[in-house]
Amino acid sequence: MDQKLQELWGEVMEEKKQCKGCGGALPFLIGFVAAVIAGWVLFPNLLYSKKVQPVRFSHKVHQEQGMECASCHTFRDDGSYAGLPNNEKCMECHADVVGSDPAEKIYVEQYAQKGKEVPWLVYQYQPDNVYFSHKAHESFECKECHLEVGKMDTPPVYYENRLSGYSKQTMKMWQCERCHAENGVSNACHVCHK
Ligand code: HEC
Ligand code: HEC
Ligand code: HEC
Ligand code: HEC
Ligand code: HEC
């Protein structure tokens, strides 16, 4: 057995000599490619679970109806942001099915008429320790911070980080801080972390 192994080893070393450098570079290359695949493809797939919105709501279709953004995304009288519209708003038009789109039927029958609010996924929700107010950022366009859903026909896929439970698409600390720095706004920790 030992003899056989030694012969084999000899053959390998011989081949290695004939092809200088291959022995070193090839395994490295294979390892490198494997690491890249693991890092760029497998790991993000493992880390994030994909979710779709409970109802395929089209911003584009509603904009074509002539609806303003602010008719669904309003400020309350106290300046706080009402955020997402509720059934009361949608039922101004969807108390009954009015069109032929299957998504509308789902919305009307499974939510509106049952008095159940749609559990929309918000791509931009921040961790609890981050304080944010829309009022202070009123002068900016939505797309500075949000995906441009306002123009979309189908809501984008939502990526949830399996470890933290937060959305992958949410704005990162450095992005908030970059704009604050550009506008001379304080970046002291307590401004955003209360
Ligand atoms: C001013 C009236 C109006 C309001 C308010 C309104 N919709 Fe619509 N909605 C429409 C019309 C018109 C259509 C197009 C119907 C068709 O031709 O299929 C539509 C289509 C839809 C559809 C089908 C897929 C799509 O988006 O095109 C869904 C789902 C829907 N609406 C959900 C909602 C929800 C949820 C709300 C509240 C956030 C809402 N709508 C508010 C008028 C309205
Ligand atoms: C008919 C009501 C309606 C109108 C009008 C409307 N939206 Fe929305 N908006 C929604 C609903 C419902 C959602 C939640 C589902 C989704 O994200 O698609 C939403 C979500 C959003 C979000 C949150 C995205 C996130 O981070 O989760 C943004 C930003 C937004 N809309 C921008 C706009 C803009 C810009 C306009 C005007 C061009 C607009 N909306 C008009 C109903 C409306
Ligand atoms: C400067 C950045 C910024 C701008 C500009 C901005 N948003 Fe947001 N928005 C956020 C952040 C951050 C959150 C998450 C807040 C949280 O987690 O409490 C959010 C949350 C939301 C939500 C979720 C509902 C909620 O709880 O408030 C909606 C809807 C929304 N934004 C719509 C809009 C629309 C429409 C515009 C444009 C008129 C807009 N935003 C402009 C950063 C921004
Ligand atoms: C596009 C530029 C921009 C981005 C992005 C931005 N901010 Fe701001 N922020 C401002 C400006 C400008 C002010 C000052 C507003 C004023 O003084 O009226 C401000 C003020 C604030 C304030 C203090 C005002 C208050 O309500 O107490 C907080 C808190 C804040 N931002 C949090 C955040 C967080 C958290 C994010 C990221 C999720 C963020 N901002 C992203 C421009 C931005
Ligand atoms: C302009 C707003 C802003 C300021 C100022 C700010 N943060 Fe943050 N911070 C955020 C936001 C938004 C997040 C959540 C998104 C993220 O993780 O990037 C966050 C997340 C964090 C986290 C969690 C990181 C993680 O990956 O879980 C820590 C820790 C933190 N901040 C510490 C600080 C400290 C320390 C300071 C002061 C030196 C500071 N922050 C100043 C907005 C801010």
Q: How far is the CA of 134 from the centre of ligand 3 (A)?
A: 6
* Nearest in space to 165 (alpha carbons), one of 44, 55, 49: 49
Q: Take atom 23 of ligand 1 and give the residue whose Cα is closest.
A: 104
Give pLDDT, residue 159: 95
Give pLDDT, residue 6: 72
Instruction: Locate 143 and state its tokens.
Output: 């797309």
pLDDT at position 127 over 60: yes
Distance between CA atoms of residues 138 and 133, nearest Å: 9
Distance between CA atoms of residues 123 and 157, nearest Å: 9
Give pLDDT, residue 78: 87
pLDDT in tens, 58-71: 999 999 999 999 99
pLDDT in tens, 4-57: 657 766 665 566 566 555 567 888 888 888 887 777 777 777 889 999 999 999
Query: Do residues 169 and 158 touch, judged by C-beta distance below 8 A?
Result: yes
Give pLDDT, residue 39: 74
Give pLDDT, residue 160: 94
Q: Take atom 14 of ligand 2 and give the residue whose Cα is closest.
A: 120
* Nearest in space to 113 (alpha carbons), one of 91, 86, 98: 91
State the ligand closest to the CA atom of 188.
5
Q: What is the mean pLDDT of residues 73-81?
A: 89
Q: What is the mean pLDDT of residues 70-82?
A: 90
pLDDT at position 1 over 60: no
Give pLDDT, residue 32: 83
Q: Take atom 9 of ligand 3 and give the residue whose Cα is closest.
A: 124
Other CB atoms within a 10 A radius of the CB of residue 164 amount to 11
Q: What is the mean pLDDT of residues 110-138?
A: 95
Ligand 1 close to Cβ of residue 73 (< 6 A): no
Q: How far is the CA of 120 from the centre of ligand 4 (A)?
A: 24
pLDDT at position 155 over 70: yes
Give pLDDT, residue 121: 96
Give pLDDT, residue 5: 58
Q: What is the mean pLDDT of residues 125-137?
A: 94
Give pLDDT, residue 65: 92
